[in-house]
Copies of this chain bind each other. A is one copy, B any other.
Amino acid sequence: MKFNTDFLLQRRTIRKYTAQDVPDEILDEIIAEGCRTSTTGNMQVYSIIVTRDSSLKQQLLPLHFNQGMVTGAPVVLTFCADFNRFNKWCLLNNASPGYDNFLSFVTAATDALLAAQTICVSAEARGLGICYLGTTTYTANKIIEVLRIPRGVVPVTTVTLGWPAEHPEQPDRLPADAIIHREVYSDYTDQEIRDYYSAKEAREDSARFVRENNKATLAQVFTDVRYKKADNVNFSRILLQVLNDQGFMNQ
């Protein structure tokens, strides 16, 4: 191995940060490495909003369901699918951009997410801690207002960044065989599902989640408490409306 990647295997999400700032020089290095990530046709159709200002973080806080990382972290990075910059370049160069459609949103969101992950890896290699906020897609309509995001741009994920003030247990993961399919997709038998999830179900923290939520199974904690159909349907409606409002549904 040319470069040691042990930290990738040892990593854990960090939700508590020290008061120490992340200097601009370090952040610039991390972002420079992130900007080398593959992008579709080298169009680089994404943007990164770096938010350090306390009052802006306070405004973002409820949009991320009051998760303390938003105000607790020195840096909040909002990653956006962004065809605005590219469209403007086209229009200045007698070119007619055709990127106001769903495929273009997916292309730009992919650019943004791949760059986000390189940035997280680069940050963790430096001893920083990160946490992804999935809430970004739930409240994109309001994040757009707070961060003054124009048409052609959609926030797709948020990362909080800072120096770790905790060293939590690593969460469990499914066996790799549950994720990997050889040659083609091989659909799961009931027995395989039971086997792959058995270690997760047997964990003490899983049993505690079930108990605390008054549920019969761990799966019910997900379907009835954490990721409910009614919420998913509501957030789907909002997100599709955002895509429409930001100019990505004109196919």
Contacts and interface: CB of A to CB of B under 8 A. Distances in A.
A230 B99 CA distance: 10
Contacts of A53: 183
Contacts of A101: 229, 232-233, 236
A44 interface: yes
Nearest to A52: B183
A207 interface: no
Contact of A104 (B33, B176, B232): B232
Nearest to A32: B176
A5 B226 CA distance: 36
Given A31-B176, A117-B118, A227-B99, A88 B5 contact: no
Contacts of A132: 38, 40, 114
B184 A219 contact: no
Q: How many copies of the chain does the oligomer comprise? A: 2
Given A56-B184, A125-B2, A188-B88, A36 B49 contact: no
A150 interface: yes
A49 B122 CA distance: 26
B96 A223 contact: yes
Contacts of A113: 110, 113-114, 117
Chain A: interface residue count, which band?
Answer: 35 or more
A251 B233 contact: yes
A181 B50 contact: yes
Interface in A85-119: 85-86, 88-90, 92-99, 101-104, 106-107, 109-110, 113-114, 116-118
Interface in A1-51: 1-11, 13, 28, 31-38, 40-44, 46-51
Contact of A90 (B2, B32, B223, B251): B223
Given A8-B36, A110-B156, 9 more contacts: A5-B33, A11-B36, A32-B176, A37-B117, A92-B193, A98-B228, A103-B137, A106-B156, A150-B187
Contacts of A185: 47, 49, 80, 147-150, 153
B95 A181 contact: no
